[in-house]
């Protein structure tokens, strides 16, 4: 008897091309984190990490509750893109930023957006479900019209820096007559 004969054998599984692509995207997302995607942001939300990963593996969006481990500031899409650009230009470390059909949603530390009073942006209510794709789904790729501008990593965007960048983006848009 050889060593291989002693090991249990699993039945081969047929995988579609789409399955292989999904698995490659999940593996690719691990690239910047020494082989592992940070899962703290999922765990901090109170959602099941196992269920989240299973949904992503099936090519579905996961739903994570807001206001438990982090807050979300939702802004109109064009101003949101300008805000992210302003943050990067200022050298601010930018945490997860989600792009949807109509909005840009930025994850910030819990409580750091409590005093948000800017027009054209809202703090997502505690417990509202944020529908998120796997970290490997980065613009221009999408999953159900959602993608990451900045995929989740190990940090969140500073709430005060986001507030200032959002105000600067609004002033910039007013100066050049865009909305």
Q: Which residue has the higher pLDDT, 3 or 121?
A: 121
Structural domain includes residue 4: no
**Nearest alpha carbon to residue 97 among 62, 65, 139:** 139
Structural domain includes residue 150: yes
Q: Residue 69 above 50 pLDDT?
A: yes
Domain extent for 59: 16-176
Percent of the chain at pLDDT exceeding 70:
79
Structural domain includes residue 100: yes
Structural domain includes residue 10: no
Structural domain includes residue 120: yes
The model's pTM:
0.79
Structural domain includes residue 6: no
Number of structural domains (the chain) is 1
| Cis omega (within 30 of 0) for bond into 108 | no
Structural domain includes residue 40: yes
Structural domain includes residue 105: yes
pLDDT, one tens digit per residue, over 98-149 is 999 999 999 999 999 888 888 889 999 999 999 999 999 999 999 999 999 9
């Amino acid at each position: 008897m050889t060593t291989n004969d002693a090991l249990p054998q699993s039945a081969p599984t047929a995988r579609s091309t789409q399955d292989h692509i999904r698995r490659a995207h999940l593996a690719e997302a691990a690239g910047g984190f020494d082989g592992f995607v940070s899962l703290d942001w999922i765990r901090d939300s109170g959602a099941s990490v196992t269920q989240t990963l299973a949904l992503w593996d099936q090519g579905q969006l996961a739903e994570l509750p807001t206001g438990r481990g982090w807050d979300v500031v939702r802004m109109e899409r064009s101003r949101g893109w300008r805000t992210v650009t302003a943050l990067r230009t200022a050298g601010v470390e930018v945490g997860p930023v989600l792009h949807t059909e109509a909005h840009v949603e930025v994850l910030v530390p819990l409580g750091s957006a409590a005093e948000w009073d800017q027009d054209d942006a809202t703090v997502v209510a505690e417990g509202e479900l944020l529908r998120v794709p796997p970290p490997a789904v980065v613009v221009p790729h999408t999953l159900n019209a959602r993608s990451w501008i900045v995929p989740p990593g190990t940090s969140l965007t500073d709430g005060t820096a986001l507030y200032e960048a959002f105000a600067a983006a609004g002033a910039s848009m007013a100066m050049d007559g865009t909305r």
